């Protein structure tokens, strides 16, 4: 794991969930479907695991963000970090994802976590 990824995972420790939730999120059928459909590389699964530590409110607050940011997603996420937005670590993780995957994949990841958080 590189230093940036390690910092992201450590930074997500502000979170409210356990490491057990990491595996549950990754093993969730909707997440497995997403990983296959969006071709998320195994080398990026640590980012998915890091998201599992983020607050449920972050996913809800960013519900429409990815859709409306569209092709400008990476720039918009960087703006969020620069203005010290709430859920900074959540945004940093998605910034890393947005550099490899498009806005649709990031939106999909957010929506799957919303489902997981609702217990679906």
Is the pLDDT score of 28 beyond 90? yes
The pLDDT > 70 percentage for the chain reads 82
Looking at every residue in the chain, the average pLDDT score rounds to 85
d(C-alpha 90, C-alpha 103), whole Å: 15
d(C-alpha 4, C-alpha 77), whole Å: 16
CA distances from 117 to 89, 101, 111 (A): 18, 23, 10
Regarding predicted confidence, which is higher, 115 or 2? 115
Q: What is the pLDDT averaged over residues 32-55?
A: 95
Q: What domain count does the chain have?
A: 1
Is the pLDDT score of 2 beyond 60? no
How would you class 43 by CB atoms within 10 Å of its CB: exposed for 0-12, middle for 13-18, buried for 19 or more? Answer: exposed
Regarding predicted confidence, which is higher, 12 or 45? 45
Q: Which domain covers residue 100, as residue numbers? A: 3-117
Backbone angles phi, psi at 3, to 5 degrees: -60, -40
| pTM of this structure | 0.80
Is the pLDDT score of 77 beyond 70? yes
Q: What is the pLDDT averaged over residues 32-51?
A: 95
């Amino acid at each position: 794991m590189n230093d940036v990824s390690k910092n992201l995972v450590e930074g997500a420790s502000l979170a409210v969930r356990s490491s057990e939730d990491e595996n549950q999120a990754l093993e969730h059928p909707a997440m497995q479907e997403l990983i296959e459909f969006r071709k998320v590389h195994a080398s990026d699964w640590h980012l998915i695991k890091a998201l599992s530590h983020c607050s449920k409110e972050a996913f809800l607050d960013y519900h429409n963000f990815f859709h409306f940011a569209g092709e400008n997603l990476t720039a918009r996420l960087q703006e969020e970090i620069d203005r010290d937005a709430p859920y900074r670590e959540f945004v940093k993780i998605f910034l890393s994802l947005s550099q490899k995957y498009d806005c649709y994949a990031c939106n999909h990841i957010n929506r799957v976590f919303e489902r997981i958080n609702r217990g679906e």
